[in-house]
Copies of this chain bind each other. A is one copy, B any other.
Amino acid sequence: MSKVCVAVDVMGGDEEPQVVLDGIDAALAADAELTVFAVGPEELVVPFAQKRDRVEPLVAPDTIEMGDDPIKAVMSKRKSSIVVACRAVKKGTVQGFFSAGATGAVTAAATAYVTPFKYEDEGEQRPIRPCITTALPNRTGGLTVFCDLGANPDVEPGDMLRFAQMGAAYARVVCDIKNPRIGLLSNGTEDSKGSHFTKECFKLMKERLTGFAGNCEGSDLVSGSYDVVVADGFAGNVALKATEGAAKLILQELKSTLLSSTKGKIAGLLVKSELSAIKERLSGDAKGGAILLGLKGVVLIGHGATSVEAVKNGTLATADAVRAGLIQHVIDSVDSIVK
């Protein structure tokens, strides 16, 4: 394995910074070629780095809170851990960045400071819209790549084509799927289904997208019939949250069923570890978090509750994406990208 250097947001997530610091330690223990830049307030990151060989401090006195308006916070808090880390990616000080912080703020900061690639459209060059991408466990035991999870509620068919091309690159490089079958999220699988907007996307994808497998539906996020499911950030967010909501409902029902009777309690004890394995598998952290595609750097956002394990996995996944050359694969996959 090659040496990789990754920034981790010490102030990110819904837990104490100590959870993130412990997560960094766990990642360092698991990957001997990894160096971490711990980004956060001086009093936290300097002593932490002093005691460790492969940790550098990156001082950022400000913090963007979960409730802050993302764009305003990114513009006004230039010394926040998120902004400082994104600038470090841009400068090349680090090769990737992991934060368990607010998705909106990380997306806004990464777009502003890591900056997206440009694509060419009728002679003009425009920035690619970064698209939030994740990998979900599916019913066949594999992974389904899903994007956009919510960065872009209003897009053009051309944006959707680029999301699909970037999602396919992620499927190939990170999930080891050689020839990903790409589905367009719609209200039915027939070619004739869709809104005016997705029908335009369908036409464009049929023409230009390698691996296009037609329309798919909400259940295909986890059916395993498609390797990549592409949607605009509105429908994508709705589908992902609906999936999560249903999972919560069922696990809660199951828990209350098991606790409501003696034989249920016995059954629960018998399969306790198996049930937590299911919960773990469905937590949406199959590949360490959600990744922002379209940027000139690897930026990962932790998904769900912050834990030592989640920070470890997110940090390692960031390093893996750097080592796999994900950015170069994205460049090679988007046919309109300016190289």
What count of chain A residues pass the 8 Å CB interface test?
A: 64
Kindly report which residue of chain B lies nearest to residue A223, judged by CB atoms. Answer: B245
Do A185 and B238 have beta carbons less than 8 Å apart?
yes
Given contacts A195-B154, A277-B257, contact A242 B246 (CB under 8 A): yes
Residues of B within 8 A of A195 (CB): 153-154, 232, 234
Q: How far is the CB of A267 from chain B (nearest CB, A)?
A: 4
In the assembled complex, the Cα of A258 lies from the Cα of B234 at a distance in Å of 37
Do A267 and B271 have beta carbons less than 8 Å apart?
yes
**Segment at the interface with B among A50-58, A173-181, A247-255:** A247-255
Kindly report which residue of chain B lies nearest to residue A272, judged by CB atoms. Answer: B267
Do A238 and B237 have beta carbons less than 8 Å apart?
no
Kindly report which residue of chain B lies nearest to residue A103, judged by CB atoms. Answer: B188
With a 10 A CB-CB cut-off, give which of A192, A219, A242 has the most chain B CB atoms: A242
Residue in B188, B193, B254 whose CB lies within 8 Å of A254: B254
Bitwise interface map of A from 188 to 232 toward B, beta carbon under 8 Å scored 1, else 0: 100011111010000000000000000001111111000000011
In the assembled complex, the Cα of A69 lies from the Cα of B242 at a distance in Å of 29
Interface of A, helix, strand, loop or mixed by DSSP: helix
In the assembled complex, the Cα of A254 lies from the Cα of B247 at a distance in Å of 12
Residues of B within 8 A of A234 (CB): 186-187, 194-195, 198, 235
Bitwise interface map of A from 98 to 117 toward B, beta carbon under 8 Å scored 1, else 0: 00000000000000000000
Do A239 and B239 have beta carbons less than 8 Å apart?
yes
Do A218 and B241 have beta carbons less than 8 Å apart?
yes
Do A249 and B267 have beta carbons less than 8 Å apart?
no
Residue in B217, B246, B281 whose CB lies within 8 Å of A237: B217
Task: Say whether A263 faces chain B, with CB atoms less than 8 Å apart.
Answer: yes
A-B contact pairs, 14 of them (CB 8 A): A137-B249, A187-B233, A188-B237, A195-B232, A218-B239, A218-B240, A218-B241, A218-B245, A245-B246, A250-B251, A257-B274, A261-B274, A263-B270, A263-B271
The 6 closest A-B pairs by CB, nearest first: A219-B245, A218-B241, A218-B242, A187-B237, A267-B267, A246-B246
